[in-house]
Amino acid sequence: MNPLLPLHGANNPSSLAAGTNPGSFASRADVGGPRAYSSPDTPGMPEPSTKTAWDFLPAGWVRRGAFAEAPAGFVPVTQLEHARLGVVTPAMRRVAEREPHLSAEQVRDEVAAGRMIIPANRLHLEKGLDPMCIGRAGRTKVNANMGASPVSSGTDEEVDKLHFAERWGADTVMDLSTGGDLDATRLAIVDAAKVPIGTVPIYSMIIGRKLEELDREVILSTLRHQAEQGVDYFTIHAGVMLRHLPLIKQRLIGIVSRGGSLLAKWMITHGEENPMYTAFEDICAVMREYDVSFSLGDGLRPGGLADASDAAQLGELQVLGELTERAWRMGCQVMVEGPGHVPFDQIEYNMKLERTLCHGAPFYVLGPLVTDIFPGYDHITSCIGATAAAYHGASMLCYVTPKEHLGLPKRDDVKQGCIAYKIAAHAADIALGIPGARDRDDELTRARAALNWERHFELSFDPDTARAYHDEDLDVDTDFCAMCGHDWCSVRISKEIVEFDSGKTADLQKARALKSPALSPEQREILEKRGVLSPEEIHKLASKTRKAVEASDGKASCHSDYVDDGVAERIQAERLVQLRQKNASSAAE
């Protein structure tokens, strides 16, 4: 049998076309076109939009050849405006250095088409931001969420988590703080970050005031304040509309986005349209001034498999397409947020529908989780969905940690989430045939074939864990490991078969087996913990949370399961205020 390989002309992800693999089964690269790096479309998938950001130029702009002309006296601010005028900015040059398969001109052209963003607040650039890009012509990016909640963590802990997330490969970080000193935490994170920082500004819009009091002035002044602090992108839930709200009644889990649920409550209370939607052009004007990019929020994303791809979710996505066009007309960079919890078979459709409705604006997805019954392991359930999402068109993956649905991630949860998502992003980049994406894998395969443990660890994404696990069973750096043992080590036997070249590369060979050096303190700690919290640590964390919600008898008195709605509302208001005052005073101490 000589099966025909389904090759569609994608690049080989290995620079040397190493090994016996025929390369990627993805589609031919189309940088400069709507598909960039993409999976072949399964029959029935939506076609890419025929429009780009070029079709939504601001009033007074005129297309001239490859670029555009702005009205006389216009001063460009955003990366999109520079790109439209044909300018290659220092940020674009830096992005091209970090994405060696792209030239600075290609980066500019992708930004001009709206298929790529460089989230870089001009003030954060001055503070040391290292510019990166989000778009399907570049490598897949990973975002890590963090932030203090009313019951846990504080500014120092969050800055520590930021550095930890950067260490473990987060390309951007979102500060989702809802407790503690929000302002100080945000500023500390932006000042310390080399990666772009995103926020969901509605959180700080409602701290210290009733949700009902949210109005245009509060929205714009909060956005301006955070833009001045240097935040690089804002999640704005402007796509949730009054007409969508009846559609969520049949859902199993209603609205699971914090921003989406808050705005839905505001709309029902006032009987008016979403204020983020009605003030959208004013919001654009503030964001343009600092080049804060949009992350158009998916307030109606599904919170369970049963609610995926429903009318509410897709109705909102359609509005996000309209808002993308409006933001482009205002000169703003845009990415679009996506689901959530999606059965594996529906992921390709979701990614390709966004490509159509939002004209190729980068898609930034949370997961998606492909099953709901593994709480505690949702970094795994979601990174499976995230790999499919990136292969089918998502440009950035928002990580999920093992604490998802259960509590605020701690330091090690951040690491587990980052690694799960680096795996998803990297696997998709290889599958898509992005040039050079597989080079490190091939190098590690060579080291593994040569049984060169030092090089093997060095090339590992997490060398400490790799060495610790190896040395846990056998701390001798020899021609086999403890998994199969000497006599059954197929790699050692392969090395002995003279016909095979594998594992014999001169620079990977060792003259003789070496004893492994002793484990470093970090590596010893990895073995000691092996991902297990002691019962004492668990009780310490639980009692801290119980104390914060004043639920010493086992239940928080504000829970609406225990009291009627009116009482719950009153107690919640009092309790939240108390918590805020407490956090403010403890931060001042």
Count of C-beta atoms within a 10 Å radius of residue 59: 7
Residue with tokens 């990627």: 24
Residue 461: CB minimum distance to ligand SF4, A: 19
Between 267 and 449, whose beta carbon lies closer to ligand SF4?
449
Instruction: Verify binding: residue 481, ligand SF4, rule CB under 6 A.
Output: yes
CA–CA separation, 231 and 185 (whole Å)? 12
Instruction: Verify binding: residue 513, ligand SF4, rule CB under 6 A.
Output: no
Between 403 and 492, whose beta carbon lies closer to ligand SF4?
492
Of the candidate spans 203-211, 357-365, 439-447, 476-484, the one that interacts with ligand SF4 by CB under 6 A turns out to be 476-484
Residue 490: CB minimum distance to ligand SF4, A: 5
Of the candidate spans 26-34, 76-84, 487-495, 530-538, the one that interacts with ligand SF4 by CB under 6 A turns out to be 487-495
Structure tokens at 181: 């000193």
| H or E element, residue 379 | helix 378-391
Residue 330: CB minimum distance to ligand SF4, A: 57
Instruction: Verify binding: residue 484, ligand SF4, rule CB under 6 A.
Output: yes
Residue 484: CB minimum distance to ligand SF4, A: 3
Residue with tokens 């002995």: 496
Instruction: Verify binding: residue 406, ligand SF4, rule CB under 6 A.
Output: no
Between 69 and 462, whose beta carbon lies closer to ligand SF4?
462
Instruction: Verify binding: residue 474, ligand SF4, rule CB under 6 A.
Output: no
Of 10, 92, 23, 82, the closest CA to residue 53 belongs to: 82
Of 361, 425, 432, the closest CA to residue 34 belongs to: 361
| H or E element, residue 133 | none
Between 490 and 585, whose beta carbon lies closer to ligand SF4?
490
Of the candidate spans 44-52, 478-486, 498-506, 522-530, the one that interacts with ligand SF4 by CB under 6 A turns out to be 478-486
> From the list 285, 489, 563, 568, which residue makes contact with ligand SF4 (rule: CB under 6 A)?
489
Helices (H), 252-361: 258-270, 275-278, 280-290, 311-329, 347-357
Count of C-beta atoms within a 10 Å radius of residue 194: 15
β-strand pairing of 141-146 with 396-398: parallel
Total binding residues for ligand SF4 by CB under 6 A? 8
Instruction: Verify binding: residue 20, ligand SF4, rule CB under 6 A.
Output: no
Between 66 and 484, whose beta carbon lies closer to ligand SF4?
484
Of 432, 345, 438, 357, the closest CA to residue 395 belongs to: 432
Cα atoms found within 13 Å of the Cα of residue 63, Cβ hemisphere only: 9
Q: DSSP state, 99?
A: S
Instruction: Verify binding: residue 311, ligand SF4, rule CB under 6 A.
Output: no
Between 29 and 459, whose beta carbon lies closer to ligand SF4?
459
Instruction: Verify binding: residue 220, ligand SF4, rule CB under 6 A.
Output: no
Between 484 and 514, whose beta carbon lies closer to ligand SF4?
484
Q: Check: CB of residue 148 under 8 Å from CB of residue 399.
A: no
Of 64, 46, 54, 60, the closest CA to residue 110 belongs to: 54
Of 445, 454, 505, the closest CA to residue 478 belongs to: 454
Residue 310: CB minimum distance to ligand SF4, A: 46
> From the list 70, 151, 491, 551, which residue makes contact with ligand SF4 (rule: CB under 6 A)?
491
Q: Which positions touch ligand SF4 (CB under 6 A)?
A: 480-481, 483-484, 489-492
